[in-house]
Amino acid sequence: IALLLFILPATGQSADGIGTTIILVRHAEKIDQGEDPDLSPAGRERAHKLSGMLSEAGIQDLFATQFKRTQQTLMPLAEATHLEIQVRSAYRTDELVRTILESYPGQTVAVASHSDRVTEIIEALGGRPVGILPEQEYDNLFIVTVLGDSRAAVVRLKF
C-alpha cells in the first residue's frame, strides 16, 4: 500500500502559508503481558508496514509516548528516515500539540500514541471527533492537517 501525502494550504501556520500535517497512529499490536509490553510479532510486522508507507512522506520528526509499544511502532520508520524518536508523556496532550504547532509550522510529523489519546490529540489539534477507537483495533492512520484558526482537516485511513 502506498500513501501519497498532499499538504493543504492554510492560513497562519508558516511563513509560506502551508499547514502543519500530523500523521497519527495508535501503537501496533502488543503482547498482553505486564504494564509496559513489547509489540507482538503482528505488531512488529505492522510497524514495518507503517515504515514502508511513510518513509518517503517528508516527515521531519517523530513523537511517541514513554511506553515501549509506541516507540517500537515508530522504530522502523526512525531507522528508515534517520530520525530520532522524541519521547513525550502520554498524559500531556496539550504539551505535545503545542510543541508540534509551535516548532513544526508547515512541516509534517508522525505521532504514535494510544487508543484514547489519539482521539484526544485530533480534537486538540482542531479536528472533528472521530469516536472511540476499539481496544483491539490497530489499523487506523489519521492525517491531520492544521488549517489555522483552530481548524483541522482529518483523513482516516486503514493500513
Express each pLDDT in 110-127 by its tens digit.
999 999 999 999 999 999
Give the residue from 37, 13, 14, 17 showing the smallest Cα distance to 27: 37
The Cα 78–Cα 74 span in angstroms is 6
Higher pLDDT, 22 or 135: 22
Residues linked to residue 113 through DSSP beta bridges, in sequence order: 26
**Residue 70: per-residue pLDDT:** 98
Q: Are strands 61-64 and 20-26 parallel, antiparallel or unpaired?
A: unpaired
The answer to whether residue 41 scores a pLDDT higher than 80 is yes
Question: Cell 517523530 appears where?
Answer: 62
pLDDT, mean over the chain: 90
pTM above 0.85, yes or no: yes
